[in-house]
A and B are shown apart, each in its own frame.
Chain A
Amino acid sequence: MRQYRASGRAFDNRSANWVTCFFRATRYRPVSERRQGNKEAPAYHLILEGILILWIIRLLFSKTYKLHETYKLTEKEKEDLIEEWQPEPLVPPVSKDHPSLSYDVVTGPPSHKITINGKECINFASFNFLGLLDNERVKQKALASLKKYGVGTCGPRGFYGTFDVHLELESRLAKFMKTEEAIIYSYGFATIASAIPAYSKRGDIIFVDEAACFSIQKGLQASRSFIKYFKHNNMEDLERLLNEQELEDQKNPRKARVTRKFILVEGLYINTADICPLPELVKMKYKYKVRIFLEESMSFGVLGEHGRGVTEHFGVNIDDIDLISANMENAVASIGGFCCGRSFVIDHQRLSGQGYCFSASLPPMLAAAAIEALNIMEEDPDIFTILRDKSQHIYNALQGIPGLKLVGVQFSPALHLQLERSSGSRDSDMQLLRTIVDYCLERRVALTLARYLEKEERFLPSPSIRVVVTIQQTEEDVQKAVSCIREAAAALLI
Chain B
Amino acid sequence: LNNSVSVLYKKPFAESFEETPLLVAVLTYMGYGILTVFGYLRDFLRHWSIQTCHVAREKEEQKDFVPLYQDFENFYTRNLYMRIRDNWNRPICSVPGAKMNLVERVSRDYNWTFEHTGRVVKDVINMGSYNYLGFADNTGACADAAVEATEKYGVGVASSRCEMGNLDIQEKLEQLVARFLGLESSMIFGMGFATNSMNIPALTGKGCLILSDELNHASLVLGARLSGSTIRVFKHNNMQSLEKLLRDAIAHGQPRTHRPWKKILIVVEGIYSMEGSIVRLPEIVALKKRYKAYLYLDEAHSIGALGPNGRGVVDYFGLDPKDVDIMMGTFTKSFGAAGGYIAGKKDLINFLRCHSHSALYATSMSPPVAQQIITSMTIIMGEDGTTLGADRIRRLSENTTYFRRKLREMGVVIYGNDDSPVVPMMLYMPAKIGAFGREMLKRNIGTVVVGFPATPIIESRARFCVSAAHTREMLDTALKATDEVGDLLQLKYSRREQPLPSLGWMAKESLLQD
Contact = CB atoms under 8 A, between A and B. Distances in A.
A424 interface: no
Top 6 nearest A-B pairs (CB, nearest first) are A187-B191, A91-B351, A359-B193, A103-B166, A189-B362, A344-B56
In this complex, the interface size class of chain B, counting residues with CB under 8 Å from chain A, is 35 or more
A52 interface: no
B396 interface: no
A360 interface: yes
Among A104, A193, A199, A335, the most chain B Cβ lie within 10 Å of the Cβ of: A335
A101 B91 CA distance: 43
B91 A162 contact: yes
A240 B194 CA distance: 36
Interface string A77-118: 110011001111111111000101101111111110010100
Given A110-B164, A152-B332, A147 B143 contact: yes
Contacts of B68: 199, 260, 291, 344-345, 348
14 contacts: A73-B251, A90-B325, A105-B171, A132-B156, A147-B138, A152-B372, A154-B131, A160-B96, A161-B129, A189-B357, A222-B222, A319-B59, A329-B363, A363-B369
Contacts of B136: 150-152, 154
B138 A150 contact: yes
Interface of A: 73, 77-78, 81-82, 85-94, 98, 100-101, 103-111, 114, 116, 123, 125-128, 132-134, 138-139, 142-143, 146-155, 157-164, 166-167, 186-190, 193, 199, 213-215, 218, 221-222, 256-261, 286, 289-291, 319, 327, 329-330, 332-335, 342-345, 347-348, 350-351, 354-355, 357-360, 362-363, 365-366, 369, 446, 448-453, 456, 466
B513 interface: no
B489 interface: no
Nearest to B463: A159
Contacts of A159: 88, 128-129, 448
A105 B364 CA distance: 13
B155 A366 contact: yes
Nearest to A455: B355
Contacts, number: 356
Interface stretch (B8-16, B35-43, B290-298): B290-298
B165 interface: yes
B125 to A, nearest CB: 12
Nearest to A346: B56
Among A142, A291, A362, the most chain B Cβ lie within 10 Å of the Cβ of: A142
A134 B154 contact: yes
B272 interface: no
Given A126-B165, A159-B128, A187-B362, A151 B142 contact: yes
B304 interface: no
B366 A189 contact: no
B219 to A, nearest CB: 6
B138 A146 contact: yes
Nearest to B129: A154
A106 B92 contact: no
Nearest to B334: A154
A390 B71 CA distance: 50
Contacts of B330: 360
Given A101-B354, A147-B138, A187-B194, A127 B251 contact: no
B478 to A, nearest CB: 15
Contacts of B103: 164
B138 A91 contact: no
A320 to B, nearest CB: 9
B368 A111 contact: no
Interface stretch (B259-267, B278-286, B496-504): B259-267
Nearest to B350: A94
A258 B325 CA distance: 45
Contact of A92 (B192, B351, B363): B351
Nearest to A351: B77
Nearest to B157: A110
A342 B59 contact: yes
Interface in B327-354: 330-333, 335-338, 347-348, 350-354
A258 B66 contact: yes
Contacts of B250: 81-82, 85
A110 B159 contact: yes
B65 A128 contact: no
A344 B62 CA distance: 12
B432 interface: no
A143 B150 contact: yes
Given A151-B336, A291-B68, A106 B166 contact: yes
Nearest to B58: A344
B251 A77 contact: yes
A107 B168 contact: yes
Contacts of A149: 94-96, 138
Given A103-B161, A334-B155, A87 B293 contact: yes
Given A100-B353, A142-B150, A160-B446, A88 B158 contact: no
Given A77-B251, A93-B347, A109-B152, A289 B192 contact: no
B415 interface: no
A119 to B, nearest CB: 13
A150 B294 CA distance: 38
Contacts of B77: 351
B452 interface: no
Given A82-B247, A259-B66, 6 more contacts: A101-B354, A104-B166, A105-B168, A133-B155, A152-B136, A358-B219
Contacts of A157: 89
B158 A87 contact: no
B368 A153 contact: no
Among A154, A161, A343, A348, the most chain B Cβ lie within 10 Å of the Cβ of: A154
Among B142, B251, B353, the most chain A Cβ lie within 10 Å of the Cβ of: B251
Given A154-B130, A186-B191, A448-B164, A360 B338 contact: yes
B103 to A, nearest CB: 6
Given A151-B146, A162-B90, A188-B362, A363 B338 contact: yes
Given A289-B64, A355-B193, A365 B159 contact: no
Nearest to B260: A85
Contact of A104 (B89, B131, B164): B164
Nearest to B165: A110
A126 B90 contact: no
A450 B217 CA distance: 33
B123 interface: no
B402 to A, nearest CB: 22
Nearest to B363: A329
Contacts of B69: 348
B381 interface: no
A149 B291 CA distance: 48
B323 to A, nearest CB: 13
B106 interface: no
Among B171, B190, B448, the most chain A Cβ lie within 10 Å of the Cβ of: B190
A94 B166 contact: no
Contact of B164 (A85, A123, A256, A354): A123
A154 B129 CA distance: 6
B473 interface: no
B475 interface: no
Interface string B421-448: 0000000000000000000000000101
B64 A466 contact: no
A161 B260 CA distance: 46
Among B168, B338, B367, the most chain A Cβ lie within 10 Å of the Cβ of: B338
A251 to B, nearest CB: 16
A450 B160 CA distance: 10
Contact of A81 (B62, B66, B160, B251): B251
A379 to B, nearest CB: 19
B100 interface: yes
A190 B362 CA distance: 9
Contact of B158 (A127, A138, A365): A127
Contact of A110 (B146, B158, B369): B158
B158 A330 contact: yes
Nearest to A332: B156
Interface in B76-107: 77, 81, 88-97, 100, 103
